[in-house]
Structure 1
Amino acid sequence: MTGHEVLRVFCGADGRFGNELGVVLDGPALAAREERQALAGRLGFSETVFVDDASRGVIDIYTPTLRLPFAGHPCVGTAWLLGVPELVTAAGTVSVRRDGDVTWIAARADWAPARTLREFGSSGQVDALEVPPPGEWVYAWARTDEGAGDALGIRARGFPGRDDGIDEDEATGAAALLLTAELGRPLVVTQGRGSQIFTRPLADGMVEVGGRVSR
């Protein structure tokens, strides 16, 4: 099996949690899409990245069952690992910046795969949810008072609904990006067991998504 790195993306402030990400640094060793899809399925992470050109940041993203033009936590994690100023995805070029221990990417909301953004009245309601049946990608969220400055605090859980072994996504950058575009303000999202995602809308229609990354 081709060697790969395993990162945790969108870790909490204490360095725990985060969504696991597989990164295959020698992408050209598995050039065929079918080979990449098969390996992503065997690895079983919510997403696996194949790096086709490390110096230029050219990447290819897969879930266990399908290819994605863009996804948030793969871009944040791979940007941190490669240390590049931008990533080239199938959806478009993603700019990268770093601020302390947070790695930020900027992308357009219409690059993100569709999700159902379902608001609940409290974080307790979100916490109490059972995993819904497959068929719909649901991002369940509620407002909290845990933001900072002008950022809105959000409690969220993500349910991919693909029936591919990933019943719940620990941290979902693309869904947080879509929610930021809808609400039009910066967010501090606590998702899953305690992962943390930062977002902010930009003046040019782009949205920044940031988080901490660890091996």
Structure 2
Amino acid sequence: MRKLVLSLIILFTFAGSLLAQRVTYPQLVFRSQTPEIFIDELILPAEDGKTTLAFLFRFNNDFIPYKKIPMNNEFNAPEDAEFYSTVRLSTEIYEGELKRRQDPSANSVTRDFWSDTLFAASFEETRSNENFAAGYLETQITPGTYNFILQLSMMQEINERNTQRREINIPNLQEAKKGEIYFTRNRSEVNGLQQLELMNLEDNVPYGKDFYAAIRIPD
């Protein structure tokens, strides 16, 4: 049986955003109705016996606070930009199962962060839920059980917003008997390899628009 080898790439569009609501960050992450934040964990094959763990995220404009760009500034902003914001998302992964509060802390395996300065051309654009900032964090780790925490900071806040620690099991996809399905937005071909743009809408797909489903076939 001939197998199609797909080269998955993660591509995202960065856009401007606004205004934090008076609810907690974990509530926004897991709220099912009109979500302003999408954060999803994605497990992908890697080499040398490791597995790639990626955190895909998207922050809609009606979530991020904006400020008017001051007259004297050092921003490398677009000519039509009138508002700006800064966003930083970091993750820390710990080895082992999730421990009770009184147990000693587990060893940190890896840390990573994403940060960016966002711009908007008008106040209406900052309030639009059709514009968003998006990206991903990824790391390659040995299969096993881990737990992780996400931290969000906007406009250089001193106190970061933390999620509760969550446990995650990282399988060895090279030994898996079943494949996985990945939702993708579109596809292209580079040097004879299929490249797919992964969606960052958790388990959702755009209403009334075409999408692709990429299936990994185990050896």
TM range (shorter): under 0.3
Higher helix proportion (structure 1 or 2): 1
Give the alignment's TM-score, normalised by structure 2.
Answer: 0.25
Query: Which protein has greater RCO, CA pairs closer than 8 Å, 6+ apart?
Result: 2
Larger radius of gyration: 2
Higher strand proportion (structure 1 or 2): 2
Give the alignment's TM-score, normalised by structure 1.
Answer: 0.26
